[in-house]
Amino acid sequence: MLRGIPRAISPDLMHVLLSMGHGDEIVLADGNFPSVTHARRLVRADGLSVPDVLNAIARFFPLDSYADDHAVVMATVEDIPSPPIWTTFEAVLAESEGKVVTLTPIERFAFYERAGRAFAVVATSESAVYANLILKKGVVQPHETG
C-alpha cells in the first residue's frame, strides 16, 4: 500500500491513469454498460460506484482544457432532462478543476462508438441510470507537479 492513494484506485487503474496521455479518454461505466464489448483495456471496479471512482481519480486526472467535450455522458432517450447522478458528476469535476464543468450529452450509439476508441473502460457496479461518463485527459501544468 501507498499513502494518499484512494482505495477505489486499484493497481490496474493507477497503471492506466499513468499510461494515458493528453487527449486520451477513459470511460467510467455503470453496471449496465457493455464494458467488455467496448473496452480496448478493461479495468474492473466491482463493488464501486461511478462517483466512488470519479472522486478517487479526479484529484489526479486533469481534464482537457482545449476540448469542449472533455466530460461526456450518454444522452437520455426518455423525457428525463438530466439524471440526478449528473449533478454529482458536475460537483466532483467542478471541485477538482476549480471551475464549472459542463457535461456534453451524446446519443447512445455515438457514446458506444466513442467508448470503443477510449484508452480504457472502468467497469463499476453503479446501478443509477445514465451513469456512464467519458473523460478526456488534459495536460498537467508545471505548477501542479510536486
**pLDDT tens-digit profile of 2-56?**
889 999 999 999 999 999 999 999 999 999 999 999 999 999 999 999 999 999 9
Q: Which of 15, 22, 66, 68 is catalytic?
A: 22
Which residues touch 144 (CB under 8 Å, ≥6 apart)?
Answer: 62
In percent, the amount of the chain with pLDDT more than 90 equals 88
Q: Grid cell 482544457 — which residue?
A: 65
The per-residue pLDDT for 146 is: 59
Helix axes 11-19, 50-58, angle to 10 degrees: 50
Domains of the chain listed by start with CATH number = 11-140 (3.40.1650.10)
HSE at residue 33, side-chain half, CA atoms within 13 A, is 35
Catalytic residue flag (residue 66): no
For 26-94, give the secondary structure using H, E and C. EEEECCCCCHHHHCCCEEEECCCCHHHHHHHHHCCCCECCCCCCCEEEECCCCCCCCCHHHHHHHHHHH
Q: Which of 30, 38, 64, 130 is catalytic?
A: 64
The per-residue pLDDT for 79 is: 79
Closest CA to 44 of 32, 57, 35, 52: 35
Catalytic residue flag (residue 130): no
Averaged confidence pLDDT in the chain: 95
pTM score, two decimals?
A: 0.95
